[in-house]
Amino acid sequence: MSVVEPLLRVRGLTKHFPVRTGFRSAGLVRAVDGLDFEVRPGETLGLVGESGCGKTTTGRMLVRLLEPTAGTIEFAGRDITHARRRALRPLRQDLQIIFQDPYASLNPRHTVGRIVAMPLQVNGIDPPGGVKQRVRELLELVGLNPEHYNRYPHEFSGGQRQRIGIARALALRPKLIVADEPVSALDVSIQAQVVNLLRDLQRDLGLAFVFIAHDLAVVRHFCQRVAVMYLGRIVEIGDRDDIYRSPRHPYTRALLSAIPDVGTLGPAGRIRLTGEVPTPLDPPSGCRFRTRCPKAREVCAREEPALVVHDGGRQATACHFPETGPLTLSRADAVGPGGAAVVGVADAAPPGDGADRVDGNAGEVAR
């Protein structure tokens, strides 16, 4: 794909959780079932899907909070799939995680300074200028008052707590951060603050991200590449623009068209999926999406489609009958996130990109 050596290379990553009823094994939850993907240095990969698709399990395996059942994780050229804690230690510094819940992810009995300094302390690192100085720098970096060093988490709002979690993840100067739904627990206005902060950090520090989210709109604003997951598998992976403009997997299309958009008033002509995600305890044979797929045929139940680049597309899609052409979301009257930006001409706005551009100097606000 590229001459740049990937920072993270995942091959056939699998996690099965045994289910026990009493003493007998009642089967396996196939949470993640054979993932292949790569992340290059400084790249942001979005891992999207609905609940139960295995995206969180994947993230936890990447930072080795969960032991993979099969497959390999290679980080910076080294196989870390089953590395022990001590062997992992030098790599820990390059690989960090940000959590979803800003309340559960900070130890309520520790001061902010102690929380942010924890990775340094655990790894026995004494940065030049001292731990305290480093923590102050980090707090400032994420937009918090460095004087809040001695305060406790309960004195901060959700957005500020999430910034503390980000500062902690940055303490060891990582190369890759796994962000597990980092903004989904926050209010809309705060969500935008944190997304902008992560974007700035990613740009300024050259960080690579695996960004796990269920919100495709947020992922679109943050990620360069996107992988769509369904029932423990990647169904489509590719560059952001390809995935959002001309998704080829029927699931990606349905997912995109199901998102209610502020720009579209009233019920839109959507692709409606029937039913819900089947249980990963007993996934459907062949293509896992076939039970909800409007295009499913007999072959779909028999053969599992491979994740390959099909004719006329650039992204890899796991489907026997990939869709072609751009996805047209009903948006005759769409307005951009500027909201009032196109007052008066809204209905005349062409469905192209121009009508709803957000002004480029938006970054000012965050600086």
Partner 1 sequence: MSVSPVDPATLAEAEAEAETRTGGDRPGTAGRFVGRSPGQLARARLRRDRTGLVSGGMLVFFVLVALAVPLIEWAYGIGPREQFQSRLDGFGMPLGYAGGVTGEHWFGLEPGLGRDIFIRLVHGLRTSLFIAVAAAVITAAIGVVLGTVAGYLGGWLDAVVNWVTDLTLAMPFLIIALALIPTLALRFYGQRDEVPAGFQIGVLIAIFALFGWTSTARLVRGQVIALREREFVDAARASGAGLGHMLFRQLLPNLWAPILVSFSLAVPAYITSEAALSFIGVGLTDATPSFGRMIYRSLDYLQTDPAYVFFPGITIFALVFAFNLFGDALRDALDPKSSR
Partner 2 sequence: MDSPQAAPSGPPAVGPAVPGQRVDDEPYLRVDDLRVRFATADGVVRAVDGVSFTVRRGRTLGIVGESGSGKSVTSLAVLGLHDPRRSTVSGTITLGGRQLVGLPEKQVRRLRGRDVAMIFQDPLSALHPYYTVGRQIAEAYRVHHPRVGRRAARARAVELLDRVGIPQPARRHDQYPHEFSGGMRQRAMIAMALVNDPALVIADEPTTALDVTVQAQILDLLADLQAEFRTAIVLITHDLGVVAQVADDVLVMYAGRVVERGSVAQVLRRPQHPYTWGLLSSVPSLHGDADADLVPIPGNPPSLIHLPSGCAFHPRCRYADRTGDRARTQVPQLGPAGADGHLVACHLPPDARTRLAAGSPSERRMP
Stretch that binds partner 2, among 23-31, 131-139, 162-170, 257-265 (CB under 8 A): 257-265
Q: Does 94 bind partner 1 (CB under 8 A)?
A: no
Closer to partner 1 at the Cβ: 19 or 265?
19
C-alpha distances in Å from residue 36, one per residue of 33, 46, 74, 268: 10, 14, 11, 35
**Whole-angstrom distance, CA of residue 139 vs CA of residue 168:** 9
CA-nearest of 299, 300, 323 to 310 is 323
Q: What is the DSSP string of 303-366?
A: SPPP-EEPTT-SSEE--SS---S------TT---TTSGGGTTTGGG--SSSGGGPPPGGGHHHH
Q: Is 331 in the site for partner 2 (CB under 8 A)?
A: yes
Interface region with partner 1, contact rule CB under 8 A, candidates 4-12, 34-42, 61-69, 268-276? 61-69
225 makes contact with partner 1 (CB under 8 A)? no
Position among 6, 46, 54, 119 found at the interface with partner 1 (CB under 8 A): 119
Q: Which amino acid is at 284?
A: P
In the structure encoding, which two tokens stand for residue 33, read together?
């079932």
Residues 185-214 touching partner 1, rule: CB under 8 A, are: 193, 196-197, 200-201, 204-205
Angle, helices 158-170 vs 188-205, to 10°: value is: 20
Under the criterion CB under 8 A, does residue 127 sit at the interface with partner 1?
no
Q: Which is nearer to partner 2, 12 or 326 (CB)?
A: 326
CB atoms within 10 A of CB 123: 13
Q: Within positions 169 to 228, which residues make up the interface with partner 2, using CB under 8 A?
A: 187-193, 195-196, 199, 214-218, 220-221
Amino acid at 83: A
* Subset of 46-85 contacting partner 2 (CB under 8 A): 50-51
Pick one of partner 2, partner 1, none as the site partner of residue 11 (Cβ within 5 to 8 A by kind). none
Q: Which is nearer to partner 1, 145 or 285 (CB)?
A: 145
Alpha-carbon dihedral sign for residues 224, 318, 315, 248: negative
Nearest CA among 318, 288, 287, 248 for reference residue 37: 318
Decide which of partner 2, partner 1, none touches 204; Cβ closer than 5 to 8 Å per partner kind: partner 1
CB contact at 8 A, 97 and 63: yes
What gap in Å lies between CA 334 and CA 218, rounded to an integer? 18
Q: Is 87 helix (H, G, I), strand (E, B) or coil?
A: helix
128 contact choice in partner 2, partner 1, none (CB below 5 to 8 Å, kind-dependent): none
Which among 12-20, 255-263, 297-305, 312-320 is the span making contact with partner 2, rule CB under 8 A?
255-263
From the list partner 1, partner 2, none, pick the one residue 216 interacts with, judged by a Cβ distance below 5 to 8 Å according to partner type.
partner 2
Q: How far is the CB of 56 from partner 1 (least distance, A)?
A: 11
Contacts to partner 1 by CB under 8 A? 60, 63-65, 85, 88-89, 92, 96-97, 99-101, 104-112, 115, 118-119, 122-123, 137, 140-141, 143-145, 147-152, 154-155, 160, 165, 168, 172-173, 193, 196-197, 200-201, 204-205, 365-367
